[in-house]
A and B are shown apart, each in its own frame.
Chain A
Amino acid sequence: MMAPAGDGASGASRGLEERAELRSYGWGLGLALVLTVTPFALVHWAAMPGLPLRGLIGVFALAQVIVHLRFFLQLGFGKKREITLLLLFSALLLLIMLAGTIWIMASLATRMALPVQP
Chain B
Amino acid sequence: MSDAAMPDFTRRPGPAERGDDEDGEAGAQSVLVGFWLFLMSDAIIFGMVFATYVTSTAATAGGPGPHALYDIPSVALQTVLLLASSFTVGMASLALKYRHGAPRLIGWLLATLALGVAFLGLEIHDFQAMAAKGGSPSRSGFLSAFFDLVPLHGLHVAGGSIWLACLIGQMAMYGVDAPVKLGILRLVLFWHFLDIVWIAIFSVVYLAGMT
Contacts and interface: CB of A to CB of B under 8 A. Distances in A.
Interface of A: 1-3, 5, 14, 18, 21-22, 25, 28-29, 32-33, 36, 39-40, 43-44, 48, 50, 53-54, 57-58, 60-61, 64-65, 68-69, 72-73, 82-83, 86-87, 90, 93-94, 97-98, 101-102, 105-106, 109, 114-118
Contacts, number: 129
Nearest to A48: B211
A33 B83 contact: yes
Interface of B: 21-22, 25, 28-29, 32-33, 36-37, 40, 43-44, 47-48, 50-52, 54-55, 57-59, 72, 76, 79-80, 83, 86-87, 90-91, 93-94, 97-99, 181, 185, 188-189, 192, 195-196, 199-200, 202-204, 207-208, 210-211
Nearest to B91: A25
11 contacts: A18-B94, A25-B91, A36-B199, A58-B203, A60-B203, A94-B43, A97-B48, A97-B51, A98-B48, A106-B55, A118-B57
Contact of A43 (B55, B72, B83): B72
